[in-house]
Amino acid sequence: MLPLNQAIEDALDSFRTLSRRSALALLGIVIGSASIVAIINIGHNAGLDAASIFQGMGTDTLVAQLPDKEDAQVSLLSIDAAKIEGLDLPGLQITPTVFASISLVFNNRSVNARLVGTESSLFNVIALSLLKGRFLHEFDFEENVVVLGHQVAVSLSEGGSRIQVGDWLNINNYLFKVVGILKSKTNSMVSPVVVDDSVFIPLHAISRVESQTALRDLIVRVPPPLNIEIAALRLHDQLARTFEFRSVQIMVPQQIIEGMNRQNRTFHYLLIALGAIALVGGGVAVMNVMYMNVSERRVEIGLRMAIGARRQDIRNLFLIEALALSTLGAVLGAGVGIALAWLYAVISGWAFELAMLSIPLGVLSTLLVGVFFGLKPAIAASRLTPVEALRDD
């Protein structure tokens, strides 16, 4: 019986002398392996990018919008705020938000920004972070205090002294004292608040600087153990009864995230199936090459069997050649796949993160395909008799 190490050495010697057909088979294996690795990484990074869109809006948060119906009467902000406070929704943390576009002036420098009239609870509801100072507080009420978004603070500081907590700035001819500056925050696709480009003042102070204001957006936190879907239904019913002349629209980020994840998984599985087809194509090429090798090396097989090689020795010889071809293709394909996924992430503007399972899954699936398609030619070679193998065709 031929020792296993000798079989491996003979197989590798034969592998080093393979023809161009083997190079083409290797190319097929590389393409298949690269497809699997690249697709897994692209799907992984696409999911991360989709999740980052909702950053800042937790799965326990929802958004309610109250657009006016046609011919609806304009209601006062103070009346709308009182109606919100009167809602019977225990456990829910409801934060009204009112928006206006304004111009800020600091040290003769003017910057356009989005004015947000809100309450102190917004800080925790959308997970804000302070760079300096503090956020709005309940005792501020109608005080002329303002908290700056990060980009607004940077823009006001350009070309002059840096704006600091305690400075005063002009908002539509009213002076407001800066009490806080926020850290930069990624925008959420669901949240109506664009943090970096906004400035925040007390809810009731916004009517002082902007007369045409109406309460049309609510951000609501639903703390556990409350069910967010049930809470959304209760909120919708009470808002519809309280604001008869408003439409009520509820957006649940958790449901949107789950829907996007399902869509991404379906798309991901489709791409993996396409990669598997490419990998099978490479496996077929391996089988074709191994059959050709068996045909071309019939004399060698006959001589080996004539001097004592057993059937399993011949089978192992060709199976190891197929495995060596698949291993080389799997390793090269993994590297190519990672490079392609990184390039796709760069082009798409994503932050690339390697999916750790992609390499073992890509390499293992390639090796399994190589062994599967190399097994039949190896068995066919082992079934030759010395007379058949040495027959001169």
AA identity, residue 185: K
Evaluated on CA atoms 206, 212, 215, 219, the torsion sign reads negative
**Which tops the pLDDT comparison, 254 or 11?**
254
Q: Please give the Cα distance from 206 to 213 (Å, whole number).
A: 8
Residue 286 sits at the vertex; the CA angle it makes with 284 and 289, to the nearest 5 degrees, is 110
What pLDDT score does 183 carry?
Answer: 93
Is the pLDDT at 310 greater than 80, yes or no? no
> According to the per-residue pLDDT averaged within each range, which of 1-5, 147-151, 272-276 is highest?
147-151
80-115 pLDDT per residue, tens: 888 888 888 888 888 999 998 888 999 888 899 999
Confidence band (pLDDT; 50, 70, 90) for 304? confident
- pTM (predicted TM-score): 0.61
**Tokens 């068996």 correspond to what residue?**
294
Return the pLDDT at 254: 67
Output DSSP code: residue 299.
Answer: H
**pLDDT tens by residue, 227-256:** 888 888 999 899 888 888 788 888 877 666
Question: Residues 55, 366: contact at Cβ < 8 Å?
Answer: no
pLDDT score of 118: 92
Residues 54 and 187: beta-carbon distance below 8 Å: no
Residue-wise pLDDT for 42-53, tens only, equals 888 877 776 666
Show the tokens assigned to 40: 């897994």
Q: H-type helices in the chain, by residue range?
A: 4-16, 20-53, 77-85, 122-125, 150-157, 206-209, 228-242, 253-296, 298-306, 311-348, 358-382, 386-390
Q: Give the separation between CA 260 and CA 231, rounded to whole angstroms.
A: 22
Distance CA 337, CA 334 (A): 5
Between β-strands 198-202 and 109-118, what pairing exists: parallel, antiparallel or unpaired?
parallel
Considering only CA atoms, give the Rg of the chain.
34
Query: Residue 69 gets which letter from DSSP?
Result: P
Nearest to 325, CA basis, from 33, 1, 109: 33
pLDDT at 152: 93
pLDDT band at 2 (very low <50, low <70, confident <90, very high): very low
Q: In the beta sheet, which residues pair with residue 221? A: 61, 93
Identify the band that residue 165 occupies on the pLDDT scale cut at 50, 70 and 90: very high
Range from 69-73, 87-91, 227-231, 315-319 carrying the lowest mean pLDDT: 69-73
b or e along 242-267 (b: 16 or more beta carbons within 10 Å of the residue's beta carbon)? bbeebebebbbbbebbeebeeebeee
For residue 12, pLDDT over 60 is answered with no
